[in-house]
Amino acid sequence: MQHGDREAASLKFLPIKYDVSSMSERLYIFDTTLRDGEQVPGCQLNTTEKIEVAKLLEALGVDVIEAGFPISSPGDFNSVLEISKAVSEPTICALTRAVEKDIDVAADALRLAKRKRIHTGIGVSPQHIYDKLRSTPDEIYERAIAAVKYAKRYVEDVEFYAEDAGRADTEYLARVVEAVIAAGATVVNIPDTTGYCLPDEYGAKIRYLMEHVPNIDQAILSTHCHNDLGMATANTLSGILNGARQAEVTINGIGERAGNTSLEEVVMTLRCHKDVDIDTGIRSQLITKASHLVSSLMNMPVQPNKAIVGRNAFAHSSGIHQDGVLKDRQTYEIIDPHDIGLNESVIALTARSGRAALVHRLELLGYDLTPEELDATYEKFLALADRKKEIHDYDLLYLVGDIDRMKQQSIALKFLQVTTGTLVPTATVVLKFGDHERMAIGTGNGPVDAAVTAIKKLINEKVVLTEFLMQAITRGSNDVGRVHVQVQCGSRTVHGFAAHTDTTRASIEAFLDALRALNVTERKGEE
């Protein structure tokens, strides 16, 4: 390839007809949450946190954990070393450039791993060859071979990444792939590094390699797709359907820029499309747990409408949809929520909810209303729903006039005082339970944490604050802060909202809003 040819089209990509009849094979899951996922600004983890994620990935059943880029920092080196000791079932992988020093350091970091892999590679697109590396195709070809051979001195399992393969000349890419396999590569990664490819284009690239690389049977082709144009999962699946048998993914799809291919999306798509007959070894019931852990540790909230793991993924607010789901879940759900570790779908009561949803929730609360009572309650429900974004169980108790039960479940903030500064943050909280008050004192790492600790002393249920978001809704020094919290109690997850000029007050009111939705009960006999 000459410099003048760099703009030339390498291959005309045509629509693909997939033959799924002969695809009864295993797909290996390569998780790069701790490497590519951690490259997101503000999402860095310490070694202890990385080990916690790695152990859950092991329980989840991933085949390979890319634990880090050892030469990048002493912390990354130590993380790879410690993860190698902490988990035993998955292969532990370390990233390098096609540089001998990188490979030396990676091999040292992997020395304690039961199963180890070095992941080395170099850019193969015109943009990388000429602009980034200031090199030539022939020189890159030789460097690729040399890197694989050098890594092979340390480990048997060597993966080669052809960086920016999505924009590479396909014939040149095939030449490189053949050469690195001959040099000893056991896996060859075909990254769409910039998320540029269309699904048919990426699939055709994989198919071309499967059909034109003579020794392709001696290695596994791997996908590694980014989401810059929102097609990471589509491209990954297209690659799989055309012969790739390893998918490089992250929990929640986190990663540089717009992110990587989402593990949960690939796994559950293949589970849904049983005719494809390609499956993974993933224990999908742990997907929700993994999603929550990564989101919490990396301070990276999952967007509500995110496929599979977003809080709205199994939530139904439309009356027509609610009625359909209550009659038969599969009417509007193609995934059983139990399969990803959720207990049930969420029938969210809003102004768009119909009678079927209201009756369902009232029955769960123990009410069997007459048609006349239901008519009256539904009218009051609609009026209230027009004023509130979501109706909670506490609101329904009020609507049906169950005053005694309402008082029993009612929680209100009567008094809040916090002490911060150079002292240990301490909070005194007085809550009103129905017609009486209870007080508790708590400490924490900040005023909100201290107040939450105090409140937990007053309730029976074990609750966990899993998400905390705050935003200003006015401008100036008297800003009103709006707080959204997510609280988990066993298998249930609820949300609470509040707004106040005092952000600590808003935070506690939001927490109490969530507790009311959970119908928590007062703990007796303790102050």
| Residue 133: how many other CB atoms lie within 10 Å | 17
State the Rg of the chain over Cα: 27
The answer to whether the CB of 279 falls within 8 A of the CB of 270 is yes
DSSP 524: P
Q: Is the dihedral of CA 70, 110, 246, 164 positive or negative?
A: positive
DSSP count for the chain of H helices, then E strands? 17, 18
Q: Domain residues of the chain, as ranges?
A: 30-297, 315-406, 410-518
Give the pLDDT score at 499: 74
CB contact set of 480 (below 8 Å; sequence gap of 6+) = 472, 473, 474, 499, 500, 501
Closest CA to 288 of 461, 36, 496, 493: 493
Closest CA to 118 of 74, 164, 84, 165: 84
Q: Is 43 exposed, middle or buried (0-12, 13-18, 19+ CB in 10 A)?
A: middle
Residue 1 to residue 172: CA distance in whole angstroms: 8
| Fold assignment, 410-518 | Double Stranded RNA Binding Domain (3.30.160)
CB contact set of 481 (below 8 Å; sequence gap of 6+) = 470, 471, 472, 473, 499, 500, 501, 502, 503, 506
Write down the residue that tokens 């008297």 correspond to: 478
Buried b (16+ CB within 10 A) or exposed e, 422-444: eeebbbbbbbebbeeebebebeb
Distances (CA, A) of 440 to 100, 381, 414, 459: 60, 35, 12, 11
DSSP string for residues in 315-345? EE-SHHHHHHHHH-GGGT-SS-GGGGT-S--
Bridge partners of residue 188, in order along the sequence: 160, 221
385 in helix, strand or coil? helix
Closest CA to 435 of 415, 470, 459, 411: 411
Write down the residue that tokens 């100036």 correspond to: 476
Give the pLDDT score at 11: 42
What are the CB-based long-range contacts (under 8 Å, 24+) for 273-278? 275/20, 276/20, 276/23, 276/241, 277/20, 277/23, 277/24, 277/25, 278/23, 278/24, 278/25, 278/26, 278/27, 278/240
Write down the residue that tokens 């056991």 correspond to: 186
Distances (CA, A) of 409 to 17, 416, 487: 59, 20, 17
Give the pLDDT score at 17: 42
CB contact set of 104 (below 8 Å; sequence gap of 6+) = none
Distances (CA, A) of 341 to 302, 337, 501: 16, 7, 38
Residue 213 to residue 190: CA distance in whole angstroms: 14
Q: Is 349 exposed, middle or buried (0-12, 13-18, 19+ CB in 10 A)?
A: buried
The model's pLDDT over 64-100, given as tens digits with 9 standing for 90+, comes to 999 999 999 999 999 999 999 999 999 999 999 999 9
Give the pLDDT score at 477: 46
Look up residue 236 and give its two tokens. Answer: 């990954």
482 in helix, strand or coil? strand
The model's pLDDT over 418-449, given as tens digits with 9 standing for 90+, comes to 988 878 999 999 998 877 889 999 999 999 99
Torsion angle of C-alpha atoms 508, 511, 512, 518, degrees rounded to 10: -170
The answer to whether the CB of 290 falls within 8 A of the CB of 267 is no
Residue 512 to residue 448: CA distance in whole angstroms: 12
Give the pLDDT score at 19: 46
Question: Which regions of the chain are under pLDDT 50?
Answer: 1-24, 403-407, 477, 527
Residue 421 to residue 286: CA distance in whole angstroms: 40
AA identity, residue 347: I
Give the pLDDT score at 447: 93
pTM: 0.71
Residue 236 to residue 148: CA distance in whole angstroms: 25
Phi and psi (nearest 5°) for 265? Answer: -70, -40
CB contact set of 387 (below 8 Å; sequence gap of 6+) = none
Residues in the chain: 527
Question: Which CATH architecture fits 30-297?
Answer: Alpha-Beta Barrel (3.20)
Residue 421 to residue 446: CA distance in whole angstroms: 9
182 in helix, strand or coil? helix
Residue 357 to residue 347: CA distance in whole angstroms: 7
